[in-house]
Chain A
């Protein structure tokens, strides 16, 4: 009579014990202590600051932390994520609103573990899952650079996260899944330059943050390294054997592209990549060459295929028996009357020459987003930066026209099968 009752009691106790242990583990994962504030930043030597400046450019820190050129590194750029809007923070040495009170240990912890000085967890929009593999010397140089910038008063703005992601301790579980802080290891089979590029691409420039697809939880899909991801809703092309590029990249083209955004007769940087180029243009040239060497070794795995890009000349009108003739005719008329004015002008190559559209990589992407954004918004270099400039057609073309143009270019420019869901992508790209 008594036995069964006692058994039930034991069951409850076991459950409670398990819950306590789990809560303990969860707490241990989620809780990080505050680190003591420092009264003032220490002093640094000039060579360390200069190395840090180069690393900040290679890491494109300003891309998120300097939305206003007049207030370098003061933060306050909103970033849309699938989990809500995150605002970048002030990383100037301001004692109250920036990181002036952060000791070298606090700065290192934020870079390696994504933890703020006061112990709260940072959102992985800050790519600490890459910086975790930086050398300590590089982190120290970056610290020297940021601590010697002018201090700016700029309080952090509240983020607008969707439920339940406003609860920061949840990030701890993301870190268990995706934060790999194994130190970066060189590949002895490869050259010193390749290894420098590999290190910079992974631990500093965080190329994979956009060029590797993400899982539903927003972490890198490590089984598909560099297999194409997204940035600000643009398609970020695969850099591996699945590269959509219709012509093989040469290393020289890639290096020119990374420095200037222009690989003559091959590609022009658009969208978020323009910002990357702007920063790499100011970084050490040998480092960018190393990045190009590493990236090219991956792009070179893409098989050479026959594509319309191998032929010069204007794009053809649609075939008379095209099953979607009316739409293709509209697309062709728009190509001939608007695009071809520049893209098929048959002029000599200059820094201002537009690509023949059969060479435009966006036509070969697995989805139409980047092409639609280029057609709608053009190619606008960041404020004050020299680069290609293409006017946008958002105000000129209606949705039907933009869709017809994209469908035509895909079929008669790239010779590729139609994009599934093109009409939906058009409405989404053009939603007010």
Chain B
């Protein structure tokens, strides 16, 4: 057991755990941040996507020991049910979830895109979102939701 100091959604945390524990397990089991989901555990589905210093990573593949001082951001850091942020609102407006299991990862993947490129083309959205899978088949709605959020931002909407 080692103590790791993590910065998650702007708040400091200290966690005692083994160095090979995936960041996903730490968030869900120690920090009660259950947005990111365990899907495949092999970095193949994207349902555990969070941001590490703004870059999307699959947290099931990130040993807690490599995180260091880098800022972790999860879907809980974006907004809540009463005050959803622009992407969360767009996913609600497009009803882009069926079972919802992949959606937190989808929203974080999309967050990384819109922060880097607030006006993506449809092709750029598709390419960027391609690591994240949805087994219910709401991909088309998900793409529309990202488009909608980008359009809101383009009209000067708030993040």
Contact = CB atoms under 8 A, between A and B. Distances in A.
Interface of A: 68, 70, 333-334, 336-338, 341-342, 352, 380, 383, 389-391, 393-398, 401
A394 B55 contact: yes
Interface stretch (B26-34, B77-85, B123-131, B145-153): B123-131
Contacts of B61: 338, 341, 391, 393, 396
Nearest to B53: A395
A338 B6 CA distance: 19
Contact of A342 (B42, B52, B55, B63): B42
Given A383-B130, A396-B57, A337 B44 contact: no
5 contacts: A333-B19, A338-B63, A341-B42, A352-B44, A394-B55
A396 B55 CA distance: 9
A337 B63 contact: yes
A391 B58 contact: yes
A383 B66 CA distance: 31
A105 B15 CA distance: 73
Interface string B131-154: 100000000000000000000000
Contacts of A333: 19-20, 63, 65
A338 B63 CA distance: 7
Given A395-B55, A396-B57, A334 B44 contact: no
Secondary structure at the A interface, as helix, strand, loop or mixed, is loop
A119 to B, nearest CB: 36
Interface string B85-129: 000000000000000000000000000000000000001001100
Interface string B19-52: 1100000000000000000000111100000001
B62 interface: yes
* Size category, B interface: 20 to 34
B65 A391 contact: no
Contact of B44 (A391, A396, A398): A391
Contact of B43 (A380, A391, A395): A391
A394 B61 CA distance: 12
A395 B66 contact: no
Contact of A341 (B41, B55, B130): B41
A247 B16 CA distance: 43
Contact of A395 (B44, B56, B126): B56
Given A334-B66, A383-B130, A395 B19 contact: no
Contacts of B20: 333, 336-337
Contacts of A401: 66
A345 to B, nearest CB: 8
Nearest to B42: A342
A398 B53 CA distance: 12
A397 B130 contact: no
Q: Give the 3 A-B residue pairs with the shortest CB-CB distance, closest first.
A: A395-B55, A337-B63, A391-B43
A396 B42 contact: no
A401 B130 CA distance: 26
Contacts of B126: 383
Contacts of B131: 389, 391
A350 B62 CA distance: 25
Given A336-B20, A337-B65, A395 B57 contact: yes
Contacts of A334: 63, 66
Given A341-B41, A391-B43, A396-B57, A383 B19 contact: no
B66 A397 contact: yes
